[in-house]
Structure formats: structure tokens, C-alpha cells
Amino acid sequence: MPKLIRKIRRKIEKLRYREQYSLVVTDKRSGDTVHLMPPRDDCIWADPFPLERDGLLYIFIEQQFAGKNGTLGYITLQSDMSCSGFNQVLEKDFHLSYPHLFESDGELYMIPESNENNSIDCYRCTSFPGVWEFHRTLIPGICAVDTDIIRHNGVFYLVANVAEKPGDSLNQKAFVYYSDSFPDGSWTAHPANPVVDSAAFSRNAGRVFSKDGKLVRPAQDCARFYGRTMHLMEIEELSPSVYREAMLSDILPPEQYNSPGYTAIGTHTYNESEHYIVTDIKTKKRRFP
């Protein structure tokens, strides 16, 4: 019954408020922060993956218009925090999101969320930033979202959120696969799968990064609803036989953007580049005065 009540309340909320994802960018050097809004009320910008090249910040994102599939592309940010429009790089006849970027042997790859295609696919950038070609399917026949690639102690690890059978939640279980090469190696399922089994800590929220000698995995907290908050999880041990992690800290929706009739209610992606931190923010705006 409580789950049904929550669903009813969410439907009522969506009738009263317009919900939207947009981006928040912080310059780590100055502390300056800018809230980047998408161009229209029926559009979201979400799942940001930043990459710095030639003095510019490129932020690869999902753009989605109401009732349509998400597409992938990038925006650029100048040093004065001014922002370009959206430049599309990938569109399919199924939904795309979470444009995970991974560099290996001088090549740049993207592994987008494409669970509607029942596969984890990999694309290679042939002309930065706008030209991407399909490279190969990493794992076929899998219902998975929000894939991350990690290279650790000479081994490649693929972390994804997997629904093992129809009807299973994609927010509940994280699975790990490993390979001795990327992108053309074969992937072996980790013996500890699912390595995380919790709606509060399972779903990936950005690429794994190293900080103060620790390997950190951003994770979504979807226990109450999808995209509510995030946790930073320290991967304490990672090998082809062991996976162990523990929570370091929380990331909450930024309150400074709240105003009458406009509230930050969620955040579900965290990524860093050399000079910037980029997150997304879910807001609700009153539809009627």
C-alpha cells in the first residue's frame, strides 16, 4: 500500500508541477557556479560528462523533448561561463542517455545507455567533438543502463545496472564484468554479481574517479524516487574475484536555486574534469499561479 500511495502522490505532483533537468557547473579554481538551463520548458539537459580540450569545456549530455526519445550531444562552456547551444552527435530510433566517455590508447569512446536496444554498445570518436561511429557491441542481449568503464591494476571493469528478467527494476542491482582489454576484449561476469543490491546505492551516477588515493563511484539514491540524491561510494577492493565498497558522503540537490514556486528536488549525475565539477539538477516549477 505505501508504494501505491507514493505512485499516486507522484502523479498528482506531475499535474501540479513541471519537472525538468538542467545543469550546474562549478569552476574548481574560482568556486564560481553557473546554472545552465535548457532552451525550452519541454526540454531537459541531463547526464553530463565533461571533457576539457584546447581551453574549452565540452559537456556531453542527454537532450530530451517531452514525449520523444533522448538524443546525445554536447555543449561548450567558455572561461566566462557562457554556454553554447546543443550540438547533436547521436540519435537512434530508441532512447539514448548517459553518454559515458572513456579514453583508451589515444582513442575516445562513448558507451551510452541503450537498454531499449537490449545491448551495451560502444562508439568511437573519429573527429572530435562531433563525429562518432559505432564500434562494437560490448555485451549483447542484456537489459542494462548507465554503464561505466574502469581500468584498475591492468584490468578493465564494466559496471552497469541490470534487470535480470522482465519487470525487474533497473535501480536495484549493479553488476560487474571484467576483461583484459578494451574495447575489443570479451567480458566475464564477476562471481560476486550483483555486487550491489539496493535501490539506495546501486545505480551509477557518473564515471568512477580517483581522489586522495581512493577509487570513488558516484551512486544514485533511488529508494524514495528516481533521481532524488547521490552518494559517493569508495570502492575499497576491486579484483576479478572481489568487489567491496562503502559510503563516503552524500550529494544533495543544491538549495540556492530554490525560490517561491520553484524547487530543486533531485540530482542524479556527478562528474569532474580537471577544472570543473558538473552535475544535473531536477527542479519542479508550479504550472499554475
pLDDT on residue 77: 92
Helix (H) or strand (E) run with residue 261 in it: none
Identify which of 62, 29, 22 has the alpha carbon closest to the alpha carbon of residue 274: 29
pLDDT at 89 (0 to 100): 98
Query: For every one of its 289 residues, what pLDDT tens digit does the chain have, with 9 covering 90 and above?
Result: 566 776 777 676 677 778 899 999 999 999 999 999 988 889 999 999 999 999 899 999 999 999 999 999 999 998 888 899 999 999 999 999 999 999 999 999 999 999 999 999 999 999 999 999 999 999 999 999 999 999 999 999 999 999 999 999 999 999 999 999 999 999 999 999 999 999 999 999 999 999 999 999 999 999 989 999 999 999 999 999 999 999 999 999 988 888 888 899 999 999 999 999 999 999 988 887 6
Placement of cell 537512434 in the chain = 92
* CA–CA separation, 233 and 18 (whole Å): 31
Question: What is the four-CA torsion angle of 12, 17, 20, 25, rounded to 10 degrees?
Answer: -120
Amino acid at 202: S
Using CA atoms, how far residue 146 sits from 4, 12, 52, in Å, is 27, 28, 22
